[in-house]
C-alpha cells in the first residue's frame, strides 16, 4: 500500500483528489493542450496533491495522450484516469495509466432513477450488473480502483448501499459519492455519508470520497461536512472550475481545513503556499479569469481598501485577516523591476512570484519584459504575472502571433496588416473591417480559415494608468465546442490579436474530441 493511501495514513488524513484536468477541463471553454496539462500536473504534484485525475482517456486521442504523458512523469501523486462502466473505456484507461508509478482507474455509472431511466435506459438489476463487470475488469488491471455512483445524492438509499457493497466486494478501494448536480445540502449530505457507513457492511475496506458540484454554491460546505461525517477523500479543482457552476475549489478546502483546525481537525498533504501559482497557471491556460472577490485566490482576497480596515491591519494583521497572504503563496517582493533590470533579476523575480520557466520561455519572456519596460514607467508584479502567463500559454501554440500594423481613425477604413506563424511558417494578410478589432479578426480568418464564432470579447486593465497593460479575453464557439483564452499587452489591439490566436489554438486541441454518450457530469 502506498503512503498516499488513507488507510495507511492517520484517521485525520484527508486525501486531496484533484480533477482540474478532467472535470475542470471538461467544462465548456476550458480546454488545455497536452503541454499545458503536463505543466499543471507537475504543479499539482509539487504542491502535494495525492491523486491527479489526468483525463478521460477514451474521450479522444488527445485525452489519452495527455493522461499517458502525465503518467510517465508524475511520481509523487497517484495518476488517475476516468472510465465509464464499459470494457473498452476501462481497457483504454488502463493503457493510458500503465506508465504511472502509481495509477488508478476511476470507473463510474449513473445510479439515480433519472440517470438509469433517461440516460442509460437500464433498470436497477442491469446497473448493478454493470457495477460488478466494470469494477472486476478495472481490478484486473490495477489494485487501485475507484468506483463512483454518479448522481449518488439523488439515488434511492437502499440501491446505493447495495451497489457500494458490491463495488467493494469486486475490488474497489475508493467509493466516490458525487453530488453530480450540486443539489445536496450540507447536513443532508453528511447524513448520507453517515448512512453509508452504517449500512454498507464492508465499508471499512474502502475510503469514502466525495465529489461536489457547486450549482447552489455549496460544494465546499458539502465536502467539508462529508469529511466530518467520515469521508476521507475530497475531489476538487483549482479555482473551482468544472461543469456548469464548477466543482469544490481546492484552495478553499485546503485553507478552510488549515484555518479552522478547531472544528476541522484534519490534515492534508497540500502545501498551501503553492496555491497562487497553481491558480494563476490554470487561469492562464484555460482562459478563465478568476473573479476579483473569489475566496483565497481572487485579486481582492487579501486587499484592504477601507480606512478602518487598513488602520486595523497596520496595527495588527489579525484584526481583519484570518489567513496570512504568504500562506497561499502571495509574497510581496522588494525586488523592483524596471528597464535596467537584467536577466538574473528577472529570473529571481519570477521565482519569487512562483514561476520556473524553461530557458526558451524565459528568454522570450525577458524580451517581452524589456519591451514592456520601455513603454511603461512602473512594472508591477501584476504586469509580470500577466506577461509570463501569456508566454507560458503561447509556448506550445501551433499558430503564433508575430506582428501587427494597424491603420485606423475617424476618417479611414480600419486596416490591419497581420503576420502569423503557422507551424513556424510566416504568413501575412491585409484586411479591412468595421473597426480595428474586426479588421484584425478578419485578417486572422484569412490566414487561418475557420468557422468559429466570436461569443465574447472583453477588455480589462491589469493595473491603473493609461500605460497599463490590457488583458483581452476571447471566447470562440465551433460545432458546439467553446474555448476561452486571454492575452496581455500595453497595446489593446495586439492583446486582441494574441488572445484570438490563443483561443484558435485551443479550438485545434478541442477539435479532436467527441463528447462520449452518458458523460454529462
Ligand atoms: O459529477 C460527477 O458525478 C462526475 C463523476 C464522473 C465522478 O464527475
Ligand atoms: Zn463531476
pLDDT band at 7 (very low <50, low <70, confident <90, very high): very low
Rounded to an integer, the average pLDDT of 377-387 is 81
Which pLDDT value is given to residue 506?
83
What DSSP line would sit under 328-395, residue for residue?
Answer: GT-------B-TT--HHHHHHHHHHTT----HHHHHHHHHHHHHHHHH-S-B-HHHHHHHHHHHHHHT
Determine the residue of 25, 27, 108, 214 to mutate for testing ligand 1's pocket, defined as the one with the most ligand atoms within 8 A of the Cβ atom: 108
pLDDT band at 454 (very low <50, low <70, confident <90, very high): very high
CA 306 from chain center: how many Å?
33
Rounded to an integer, the average pLDDT of 274-286 is 90
Nearest atom (ligand 1) to Cα of 22: 8
Q: Is 22 in the pocket of ligand 1 (CB under 6 A)?
A: no
For 405, half-sphere exposure in the C-beta direction (CA atoms, 13 angstrom radius) is 5
Q: Is 108 in the pocket of ligand 1 (CB under 6 A)?
A: yes
CA 431 to CA 244: how far, in whole Å? 37
For 110, half-sphere exposure in the C-beta direction (CA atoms, 13 angstrom radius) is 20
Beta-carbon count within 10 A of 492 CB: 17
The domain 12-286 is placed in CATH, from the list 3.20.20.70, 3.40.50.720, 3.30.70.100, 3.40.50.12160, at 3.20.20.70
Q: Is 102 in the pocket of ligand 1 (CB under 6 A)?
A: no
| 472: phi then psi, degrees, rounded to nearest 5 | -110, 130
CA of 244 to the centre of ligand 2 (A): 10
Nearest atom (ligand 1) to Cα of 108: 6
The edge-to-edge listing of strands for the beta sheet with 412-422 is: 399-409, 412-422, 425-432
Which range (128-142, 369-383, 439-453) has the least confidence?
369-383
CA of 179 to the centre of ligand 1 (A): 8
Q: Is 23 in the pocket of ligand 1 (CB under 6 A)?
A: yes
CA of 308 to the centre of ligand 2 (A): 42
Nearest atom (ligand 1) to Cα of 19: 8
- For the chain, domain boundaries: 12-286, 331-393, 397-511
Residues with Cβ within 8 Å of 225's Cβ and at least 6 positions away in sequence, in order, are 186, 187, 189, 190
pLDDT band at 514 (very low <50, low <70, confident <90, very high): very low
CA of 468 to the centre of ligand 1 (A): 42
| 470: phi then psi, degrees, rounded to nearest 5 | -105, 140
Residue nearest to atom 8 of ligand 1 (CA): 521
Which pLDDT value is given to residue 81?
98
CA 333 to CA 384: how far, in whole Å? 12
CA of 521 to the centre of ligand 1 (A): 5
Q: What is the pLDDT of residues 391-426, one digit of tens each?
A: 777 766 789 999 999 999 999 999 999 999 998 899
CA of 151 to the centre of ligand 2 (A): 9
Rounded to an integer, the average pLDDT of 343-359 is 82
Helix (H, G, I), strand (E, B) or coil at 33: coil
Residue nearest to atom 6 of ligand 1 (CA): 521
Which range (275-279, 364-368, 484-488) has the least confidence?
484-488
Give the CA diameter of the chain. Answer: 79
C-alpha grid cell for residue 337?
A: 523591476
Q: Is 53 in the pocket of ligand 1 (CB under 6 A)?
A: no
CATH code reported for the domain at 397-511: 3.30.160.270
Q: What is the pLDDT of residues 189-231, one digit of tens each?
A: 999 999 999 999 999 999 999 999 999 999 999 999 999 999 9
CA 7 to CA 384: how far, in whole Å? 43
C-alpha grid cell for residue 101?
A: 508509478
CA of 143 to the centre of ligand 1 (A): 21
For 210-249, letters b (16+ CB in 10 Å) and e give: bbbbbbeebbbbbbbbbbebebbbbbbbbbbbbbeebbbb
The domains spanning 12-286 and 397-511 adopt the same CATH topology? no
pTM of the predicted structure, to 2 decimals: 0.83
Which pLDDT value is given to residue 357?
81
pLDDT band at 462 (very low <50, low <70, confident <90, very high): confident
pLDDT over 70 (residue 480):
yes
Which pLDDT value is given to residue 289?
85
Q: Is 390 in the pocket of ligand 1 (CB under 6 A)?
A: no
CA proximity to 436, closest of 475, 408, 457: 408
126: enclosing H helix or E strand: helix 124-141
Mean pLDDT computed over every residue of the chain: 90
Q: Is 181 in the pocket of ligand 1 (CB under 6 A)?
A: no
Determine the residue of 22, 148, 174 to mutate for testing ligand 1's pocket, defined as the one with the most ligand atoms within 8 A of the Cβ atom: 148
Amino acid at each position: 500500500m502506498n503512503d498516499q493511501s488513507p488507510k495507511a495514513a492517520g484517521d485525520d488524513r484527508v486525501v486531496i483528489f484533484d480533477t482540474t484536468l478532467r472535470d475542470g477541463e471538461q467544462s465548456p471553454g476550458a480546454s488545455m493542450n497536452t503541454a499545458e496539462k503536463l505543466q499543471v500536473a507537475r504543479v499539482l504534484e509539487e504542491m502535494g496533491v495525492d491523486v491527479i485525475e489526468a483525463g478521460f482517456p477514451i474521450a479522444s486521442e488527445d485525452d489519452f495522450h495527455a493522461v499517458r504523458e502525465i503518467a510517465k512523469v508524475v511520481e509523487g501523486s497517484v495518476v488517475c484516469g476516468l472510465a465509464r462502466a464499459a470494457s473498452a473505456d476501462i481497457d483504454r484507461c488502463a493503457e493510458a495509466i500503465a506508465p504511472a508509478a502509481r495509477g488508478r482507474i476511476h470507473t463510474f455509472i449513473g445510479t439515480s432513477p433519472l440517470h438509469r431511466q433517461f440516460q442509460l435506459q437500464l433498470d436497477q438489476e442491469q446497473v448493478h450488473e454493470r457495477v460488478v463487470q466494470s469494477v472486476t475488469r478495472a481490478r484486473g488491471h490495477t489494485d487501485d480502483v475507484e468506483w463512483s455512483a454518479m448522481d449518488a445524492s439523488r439515488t434511492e438509499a437502499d440501491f446505493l448501499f447495495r451497489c457500494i457493497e458490491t463495488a467493494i466486494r469486486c475490488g474497489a478501494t475508493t467509493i466516490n459519492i458525487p453530488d453530480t448536480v450540486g443539489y445536496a445540502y450540507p447536513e443532508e449530505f453528511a447524513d448520507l455519508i453517515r448512512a453509508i457507513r452504517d449500512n454498507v457492511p464492508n465499508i471499512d475496506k474502502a475510503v469514502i470520497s466525495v465529489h461536489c458540484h457547486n450549482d447552489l454554491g455549496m460544494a465546499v460546505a458539502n465536502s467539508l461536512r462529508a469529511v466530518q461525517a467520515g469521508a476521507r477523500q475530497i475531489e476538487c479543482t483549482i479555482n473551482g472550475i468544472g461543469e456548469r457552476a464548477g466543482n469544490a475549489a481546492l484552495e478553499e478546502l485546503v485553507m478552510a481545513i488549515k484555518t479552522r483546525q478547531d472544528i476541522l481537525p484534519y490534515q492534508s498533504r497540500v502545501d498551501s503556499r503553492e496555491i497562487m501559482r497553481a491558480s494563476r497557471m490554470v487561469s492562464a491556460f484555460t482562459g478563465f479569469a478568476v473573479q476579483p472577490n473569489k475566496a483565497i485566490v481572487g485579486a481582492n482576497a487579501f486587499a484592504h481598501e477601507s480606512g478602518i480596515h487598513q488602520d486595523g491591519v497596520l496595527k495588527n494583521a489579525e484584526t481583519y485577516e484570518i489567513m496570512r497572504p504568504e500562506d497561499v503563496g502571495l509574497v510581496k517582493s522588494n525586488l523592483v523591476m524596471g528597464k535596467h533590470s537584467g536577466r538574473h533579476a528577472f529570473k529571481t523575480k519570477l521565482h519569487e512570484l512562483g514561476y520556473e520557466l524553461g530557458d526558451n520561455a524565459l528568454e522570450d519572456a525577458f524580451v517581452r519584459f524589456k519591451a514592456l519596460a520601455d513603454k511603461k514607467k512602473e512594472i508591477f508584479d501584476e504586469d509580470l504575472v500577466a506577461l509570463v502567463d501569456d508566454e507560458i500559454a503561447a509556448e506550445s501554440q501551433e499558430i503564433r502571433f508575430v506582428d501587427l500594423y494597424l491603420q485606423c481613425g475617424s476618417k479611414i477604413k480600419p486596416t490591419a496588416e497581420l503576420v502569423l506563424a503557422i507551424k513556424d511558417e510566416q504568413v501575412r494578410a491585409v484586411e479591412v473591417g468595421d473597426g480595428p478589432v474586426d479588421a484584425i479578426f478578419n485578417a486572422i480568418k484569412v490566414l487561418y480559415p475557420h468557422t468559429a464564432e466570436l461569443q465574447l470579447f472583453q477588455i480589462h486593465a491589469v493595473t491603473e494608468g493609461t500605460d497599463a497593460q490590457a488583458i483581452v479575453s476571447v471566447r470562440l464557439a465551433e460545432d458546439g465546442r467553446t474555448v476561452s483564452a486571454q492575452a496581455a499587452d500595453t497595446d489593446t489591439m495586439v492583446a486582441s490579436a494574441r488572445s484570438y490566436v490563443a483561443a484558435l489554438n485551443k479550438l485545434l486541441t478541442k477539435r479532436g474530441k467527441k463528447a462520449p454518450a452518458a458523460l454529462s457530469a
